Chains A and B, each alone.
Chain A
């Protein structure tokens, strides 16, 4: 499988969340992932990017979100980074049903965890948050007969 790298830098506006989903869906299709996996990748990316805008930047549209995709032979790595307020307690933020907003279900990290093989969150207050998600890619089996 070819290696590939894509970097998208975009304003922290809600309209851009759907663009990041289009990008990951295209990459997933190029990797010949099943439709179900592509749907799950879209949700995971949507959650990470929404978190950056809503929580990292508190819906302030004048900031920048970074999305980096890195494809190696056996994995797809997705990194979503903001330079926002950071997360006070990462363990608490990752709990199901924890949300700082009553309108929300606190499911963002649950979905990211469910749909990706690896999830890592690094955050520093007033510096920002980096969410790293990895999807293992199955090697195409070699048929020998």
Chain B
């Protein structure tokens, strides 16, 4: 799993490249949690364009960050999900609680200004 990180104010953009399973979930968990704790990050945008596989361990790390950010007044957003990855997420009910966006620009846009 390769991670690309970009931080802008209180928003962390994380681009994931690889397979999101029990082996790589901890890498993603740590990458996000350290920014929440040390920099006070409140919005996490996950770009999943280059994610080739996800299972319940991978979904677990996303839902875990959602549960962590929610009481802090934060939010998690998902962008660029490949169709076969989206199918798994849909089956899990994830889109009912987490917002999905076509790309990073749309994810940034929502919640800004207004």
Q: Give A contacts to B, CB under 8 Å.
A: 14-15, 17-18, 21, 35-36, 39, 42-43, 46-47, 50, 53-54, 101-108, 110-111, 114
Contacts and interface: CB of A to CB of B under 8 A. Distances in A.
Interface of B: 19, 21-23, 29, 53, 55-57, 59-61, 63-64, 67, 84, 88, 91-92
Given A21-B19, A114-B91, 8 more contacts: A18-B19, A21-B53, A42-B53, A43-B53, A103-B63, A105-B59, A111-B55, A111-B88
A108 B56 contact: yes
A103 B63 CA distance: 7
Q: Which 7 residue pairs spanning A and B have beta carbons closest together?
A: A14-B23, A107-B56, A104-B60, A103-B64, A46-B55, A50-B22, A108-B56
Contacts of A114: 91
Contacts of A110: 56, 91-92
Contacts of A101: 60
B92 A107 contact: yes
How would you classify the secondary structure of chain A's contact residues: helix, strand, loop or mixed?
A: helix
Contacts, number: 63
Contact of B21 (A50, A103, A104): A50
25 contacts: A14-B21, A14-B22, A17-B23, A18-B21, A21-B19, A35-B84, A43-B53, A47-B56, A50-B21, A50-B22, A50-B57, A53-B22, A101-B60, A103-B29, A103-B64, A105-B56, A105-B59, A105-B60, A105-B63, A105-B92, A106-B56, A110-B56, A110-B91, A111-B91, A114-B91
A18 B20 CA distance: 10
A13 to B, nearest CB: 8
B55 A47 contact: yes
Interface centre among A17, A35, A54, A105 (most CB of B within 10 A): A105
